[in-house]
Amino acid sequence: MDSALASDRVHTTHSGVYLRGTVRTAAKLLVVGHFGVGKTTFVGALSEIRPLRTEETMTQAGAHVDDLAGLDGKTTTTVAMDFGRLTLSDSLVLYLFGAPGQQRFTRLWLDMTQGALGALVLADTRRLDHSFEVMELLEDHGLPYAVAVNHFDDAPVFPEEEIREALDLLPDTPLVTCDARDRISATRALITLVDHLHARTAQEPV
């Protein structure tokens, strides 16, 4: 390739940028939660590529539902999505998309949810009530989910039953604790989610 621009830049940042030629299937899971809960950290701990970000300008259609307090007169805002990739076998690749929940009416959110197998909701015990919005959003979309409490060092630890009650979780919704910075811990949280999704497909006649 001569005078390559984009591909050169990519190659210098990471040699394993491109997918294996044998990959045939791409699966999609969402990592959601409120601002600052650790979504980007979680995706970054698992991704084999440098996590990527795309941005979209959100116009008036969804602007009034967003929290734009203190931003009087602002009619557009930028929404962003971070994502990463895990090659799981010669033929299968998994993409993780992380985004906050207040992007519900944007095209980017629709793009993210379409075809997603399910979602992992990250929660913070210091702000459990902040998780309701995104959980409601997933329920509206009919997307199954599991909840992972991302443990912050200075956050209070509660018994599982109390967290379940505070989040008003259904009995079969899995709840785990994880450290979003740790690859193994984050992998375990994802396994809990996928286990749950798999059990559901076994129960429901498709």
Partner 1 sequence: MTPAVPRRDKGLVRPYVVTEGRSHPTRNTFDLVTLVMAHGDRPLDGLSPEKYRLMELCLGGALSVAEIAGYLQLPVSVTKVLLSDLVDSGHLSTRAPIPSAQLPEAQILQEVLDGLRARL
Cα gap 25→117, rounded to integer Å: 13
How many other CB atoms sit within 10 Å of the CB of residue 87? 16
φ, ψ dihedrals at 182, nearest 5°: -100, 125
Q: Which residues pair with 79 in a beta bridge?
A: 56
**Pairing mode, strands 175-178 and 77-87:** unpaired
- Is the CB of 164 or the CB of 187 nearer to partner 1? 187
How many other CB atoms sit within 10 Å of the CB of residue 88? 12
Output the furthest CA–CA distance in the chain (Å, rounded): 61
Give the interface segment with partner 1, choosing from 6-14, 63-71, 131-139, 168-176 (CB under 8 A): 6-14
Closest-CA residue to 110 (of 85, 133, 137): 137
49 binds partner 1 (CB under 8 A): yes
How far apart are CB 172 and partner 1 at their closest, in Å?
16
Classify the C-alpha dihedral 143-50-105-178 as positive or negative: positive
Amino acid at 151: H
How far apart are CB 142 and partner 1 at their closest, in Å?
14
How far apart are CB 62 and partner 1 at their closest, in Å?
14
Among 11, 71, 74, 155, binds partner 1 (CB under 8 A): 11
- Here's the x/- map for partner 1, 112-131, by CB under 8 A: it reads as x-xx-x--------------
Cα gap 89→154, rounded to integer Å: 38
Query: How many residues in the shown chain lie near partner 1 by CB under 8 A?
Result: 62
- Here's the x/- map for partner 1, 135-174, by CB under 8 A: it reads as ----------------------------------------
Among 62, 63, 77, 95, binds partner 1 (CB under 8 A): 95
- Is the CB of 92 or the CB of 166 nearer to partner 1? 92
Q: What is the chain's length?
A: 206
Cα gap 62→84, rounded to integer Å: 26
Question: Which residues here bind partner 1, judged by CB under 8 A?
Answer: 1, 4-7, 9-11, 17-19, 21, 23-28, 35-36, 38-40, 49, 52-57, 80, 82-83, 85-86, 88-89, 92-95, 97, 107-108, 111-112, 114-115, 117, 183-184, 187-188, 190-191, 194-195, 197-198, 201-202, 206
